Amino acid sequence: MRILFHDLTLDPEPWLAALRLAFPQADVALWQPGAPQADYALVWAPPQQLLDEQPRLKALFNIAAGVDALLKLRLPAGVPVFRLDDAGMAVQMAEYVAQAVIRFYRELDAVQADAQAGRWQQRQPQPRAQCPVGVMGLGVLGQRVLRGLQAFDFPLRGWSRTPKHMEGVQTFAGPEQWHEFLAGSRVLVNLLPLTPETENILNRSSLSRLLPGAYLINVARGRHLVDEDLLALLDNRHLVGALLDVFRQEPLPAEHPFWREPRIRITPHTSARTLQQESLSQMVAKMAALQAGAKPESLGGLVRPQVGY
Ligand code: NDP
């Protein structure tokens, strides 16, 4: 068995070592142009050449949950593609979003500013009913985020492509219920995959439909958001703030106006990091299952390129 690895964003040595430990008989190597045909490839943002040279892979593993970068490329025909399926990211996303929602709801930024200015000022508690949280995307991450928020009794809403049922969450589906979903949400959390249907979905028209005094949390992809529309809605005060973890260009360029807007909080694509041990054990288990004859459809995280995620 031969396994190739290609991810220029991380130190490959611990990954290669762990793969060799899991499959002592296998030939595990960093991808090089002209590498012999492999059985499996673990990749993040691979060059097209890698995909063109490996037409007989038994599976391709994307070292991330989002596959938008991979699906822009020409994939080897008929090769199953797997993405990371939670692998320790869902709980990170749940804690990140929960802290952001609580920070907004409890006005902790203003409280902190008071403290920094030496002001002792208590704020009026807001009715929780006036802070419904809407989560776009009811997949692995969106559902975990909603389960986390349930602990704090916020009214919860969720929107997905196909109808979903979630106890304690008012659910909406498809373009026909999109506006209704937005109209009842004050905090909007984006956890959609980036596809042709969802690109630029956070724009002036959609964000204006949120309840007044709305707050945006974008933890999915920068290309979901039309940057200038967010700035315009902060200017007209329909939105009161945003927490952004992802951007059209990363790192966010120094001259980008988001850096200078105090109502926008910025984190460096850090809401849910890829964890080496969890990710590898998930991919190793899938390779072992495929080697033992399992059908790709029976394993979680199989990407449907025709749907876009
Ligand atoms: P899933 O594939 O499990 O879930 C995607 C959800 O989005 C599904 O509920 C799906 O609907 C819904 N959806 C897709 N297209 C549409 C559409 N056109 N209209 C309405 N709903 C739609 O993905 P994950 O939860 O694992 O991950 C979501 C995204 O989070 C990733 O694609 C990635 O971009 C981002 N991410 C960001 C990270 C970060 O650090 N900032 C880390 C990890 C992921 P249905 O249920 O009907 O299929």
Quick count: other Cβ atoms within 10 Å of Cβ 44? 17
256 is annotated as an active-site residue: no
Give residue 228's identity as a one-letter amino acid code: E
Q: What is the dihedral of CA 150, 151, 154, 156, to 10 degrees?
A: -10
Question: Using an 8 Å Cβ cutoff, are 96 and 74 in contact?
Answer: no
Ligand 1 binding pocket includes 143 (Cβ within 6 Å): no
State residue 126's pLDDT score: 95
Give the CA angle between residues 257, 179, 136 to the nearest 5°.
65
Position 149 scores a pLDDT of 98
Alpha helices in 156-308 (DSSP H): 178-183, 204-207, 227-235, 276-291
Instruction: Answer whether 191 contacts ligand 1 (Cβ < 6 A).
Output: yes
pLDDT tens digits for range 82-93: 999 999 999 999
Atom nearest to 270 CA in ligand 1: 40
pLDDT, residue 189, reads 99
Catalytic annotation on 269?
A: yes
Q: Which of 147, 204, 263, 269 is catalytic?
A: 269
195 and 223 Cβ atoms separated by less than 8 Å: no
Say how many Å lie between the CA of residue 66 and the centre of ligand 1.
8
Domain residue spans in the chain?
A: 2-87+274-298, 89-266
Residue in the structure block whose two tokens are 């219920």: 177
Strands 187-190 and 133-136: parallel
Spot the catalytic one: 6, 157, 186, 221: 221
240-266 per-position pLDDT tens digit: 999 999 999 999 999 999 999 999 999
User: What pLDDT band is residue 20 in, cutting at 50, 70 and 90?
Assistant: very high
How far is residue 176's CA from residue 5's CA, in Å, rounded to a whole number?
Answer: 42
Q: Give the span between the Cα atoms of 219 and 240, in whole angstroms.
A: 18
Closest C-alpha to ligand 1, atom 23:
139
Name the residue among 84, 233, 101 with its Cα closest to residue 157. 101
> Does the N-terminal peptide bond of residue 12 adopt cis geometry, omega within 30 degrees of 0?
no
CATH of 89-266, one of 3.30.428.10, 3.10.20.30, 3.40.50.720, 3.40.50.300: 3.40.50.720
The model's confidence at residue 44, banded by pLDDT at 50, 70 and 90, is very high
Q: Residue 209: its pLDDT value, please?
A: 98
Q: Read out DSSP for 186-207?
A: SEEEE-----TTTTT-BSHHHH
Interatomic CA distance for residues 29 and 227, integer angstroms: 41
Which residue's CA is minimally distant from atom 26 of ligand 1? 140
> What is the distance between the alpha carbons of residues 42 and 19, in angstroms, rounded to a whole number?
10
Is the minimum distance from the CB of 171 to ligand 1 under 6 angstroms? Answer: no
CATH number of 2-87+274-298: 3.40.50.720
Rounded to whole angstroms, the Cα distance separating 300 from 262 reads 41
Give the Cα separation of 287 and 19 in Å (integer): 11
User: Alpha-carbon distance 90 to 261, whole Å?
Assistant: 29
Asked if domains 2-87+274-298 and 89-266 share a fold, the reply is yes
pLDDT per residue as tens digits for the range 275-290:
999 999 999 999 999 9
